[in-house]
A = this chain, B = another copy of it.
Amino acid sequence: MSSEFHPPARILMGPGPCNVDPRVMLALAKPLLGHLDPDFIRIMHQVQDLLRSVFVTRNPLTIPISGTGTAGMEAAFVNVVEPGDRVLICVNGFFGERMVEIAGRCGAEVKRLEGVWGKSFEPAEVEKELKAFRPRVLALVHAETSTGVLQPLEDFPSILKKFPETLLLVDTVTSLGGHPVKVDEWGIDVCYSGTQKCLSCPPGLAPITFSPRAVEKIKNRSRKVQSFYLDMDTLGRYWGSEITYHHTAPVSMNYALLEALRIIQEEGLDRRFERHRRNHLALAAGIEAMGLKMFVEPQSRLWSLNTIAIPEGIDDAKLRKSLLEEYNLEIGGGLGPLKGKIWRVGLMGYNSNERNVLFFLTVLEQALLAQGYEVPRGVGASAARNFYSKNKPG
């Protein structure tokens, strides 16, 4: 017989999933409804309304895809890309690479704009490529989970005005709910995320939104979307006013998402972003006080995911294992070329708080001392505390 299982109560400060508010856990256990029940339809519509608020959009076609963030990425590409379409992808990390992979599987003519892992793109270099390549879709990652880099998007609307045939497709998996994401203002045509990062909901759904221009492109496709499961035309009819059966929505996960979005609404987006910013800055202050280096330049740092360069002589796997086993604390290692070179420390949603910052700095110090790294005791946590006392929330 399979024995009862009791997952340990970890503090999840990796790249996600992160811990969620107990209210969200309880929402998961609410009574199940049928996926066509009028009471569930009401819940679906509330979820859609609240998603529009966090995406800051009026796009009617805004839904949670019934899959994780990667399903959101795939839904974005399969719907707006047709075989032969030119797609320009800005690659400065693991998830840009994944976009190339997925766009390729859609039969796109993919052009990569190569960036540096750890740096954001200059709008001017993107504009140059747009001019040369004239793509149907420009795709980039707002918050690169593999490097901790934020890609500023404020300058893109004025650039893209010059390329009216190009749709802007943006990955906000690690920013939505933690950093400002302004879909309409920034002229984003397709924007997707995941639930398990700054929205602070368990993994399993991928919020996505399509602008009217993107919907137009979908409507004018010459061939069907290669994925039936992710076909926004039929999916949109289930989530729209027709409520035609498409697939059985993950009911409990939608409850959790609704509760997570209600919590965001109660806090308010601006207060929430400021909280993420403040805790990130405190953590960075502590890290630097310990003589460690943040991997990313200050102006490009994500607030939700802090990347720290691993000092020479430190055994990455051993250190993370000790945090997990001794303190029930999960942090992330590097992906691909950054394996063994950085730590990825999430301060996402519910988890972005002073207690976690101080706890992390304290136990990181312990773990570094255990490996012979010299650091004055308490210097990191003390710098963070200083930061907090000088920077009270507004």
A residues touching B (Cβ–Cβ < 8 Å)? 1-2, 4-10, 12, 14, 16-20, 25-26, 28-35, 37-40, 43, 46, 49-50, 66-71, 74, 98, 101-102, 104-106, 194, 196, 202-204, 224-229, 245-253, 255-256, 258, 261-262, 265-266, 324, 330, 335
Contacts and interface: CB of A to CB of B under 8 A. Distances in A.
Given A1-B266, A7-B43, A46-B5, A250 B202 contact: yes
Contacts of A226: 105-106, 226-227
How many copies of the chain does the oligomer comprise? 2
A245 B344 CA distance: 15
Given A67-B67, A227-B227, A252-B256, 12 more contacts: A2-B50, A9-B31, A28-B29, A37-B324, A66-B68, A67-B71, A70-B228, A70-B246, A106-B226, A202-B251, A202-B253, A252-B253
A252 B2 contact: no
B74 A229 contact: yes
Contacts of A229: 67, 70-71, 74
A17 B46 contact: no
Given A39-B8, A74-B229, A249-B68, A17 B32 contact: yes
A25 B28 CA distance: 7
Contacts of A68: 66, 247-250
Given A194-B248, A202-B252, A39 B105 contact: no
B258 A204 contact: no
Contacts of A66: 67-68, 71, 204
Given A29-B26, A66-B68, A248 B196 contact: yes
A194 B253 CA distance: 15
Given A69-B247, A70-B228, A204 B252 contact: yes
